[in-house]
Amino acid sequence: MNRSLFKTLAALAMAALAVTSASAELAQGARAPAFTTKAALAGKVFGFNLKAALAKGPVVLYFYPKAFTQGCTLEANAFAEAMPQFKAAGASVIGMSADDIGTLKDFSRKECRDAFPVGVASPAIAKAYDVAMASGMTRRTSYVIARDGRIVAVHANADYRDHVARTLAAVRALKK
């Protein structure tokens, strides 16, 4: 293959990747879609209901692609370490992925360190929050939802590193 053709194909591949990875998350100010799902906390399964969680305070709802992958594990560890700060600000956290509940039970113990729950993002939930990917996984997107059900902050970035800091800042801003 000649160099010019290779460069053209590489450019087309990068453009296609940019189009397929473009995010279309819900907008700040939108009403968060209500849902119920199976979730796990400290290895125990329970029914999670967003409306019930919001009755207790703001909710950080973060979607991640797949349990036990490097970025998702590091993100879960970071949320676990920051849970005292989220609780002090009056917020709860739930991680969501398309993983099955058995995997999430294990992930909740090992990587979430029993500090916060993780729930099953069904195809309907993933679609409602505009995080569904063609692969069946969910796109890394964090939402901060106020008690009234409105989304007050959105952070959509494949890099896990800023999700905790940005959502914590948004929760703290709500308290002021």
Is the pLDDT assigned to residue 2 strictly greater than 80? no
User: Which pLDDT belongs to residue 17?
Assistant: 33
User: pLDDT tens digits, residue range 160-173?
Assistant: 999 999 999 999 99
CB 164 within 8 A of CB 91: no
Domains in the chain: boundaries = 24-175
Share of the chain above pLDDT 90, in %: 85
Give the H or E element holding residue 11.
helix 3-20
Residue 29, phi-psi category: left (phi > 0), alpha (psi -120 to 50), beta (remainder): left
Give the H or E element holding residue 121.
none
User: pLDDT tens digits, residue range 14-73?
Assistant: 333 333 334 568 999 999 999 999 999 999 999 999 999 999 999 999 999 999 999 999
User: Which pLDDT belongs to residue 11?
Assistant: 38
C-alpha to C-alpha distance for 146 and 63, rounded to whole angstroms: 17
Length of the chain: 176
Give the CATH superfamily of 24-175.
Answer: Glutaredoxin (3.40.30.10)
DSSP 173: H
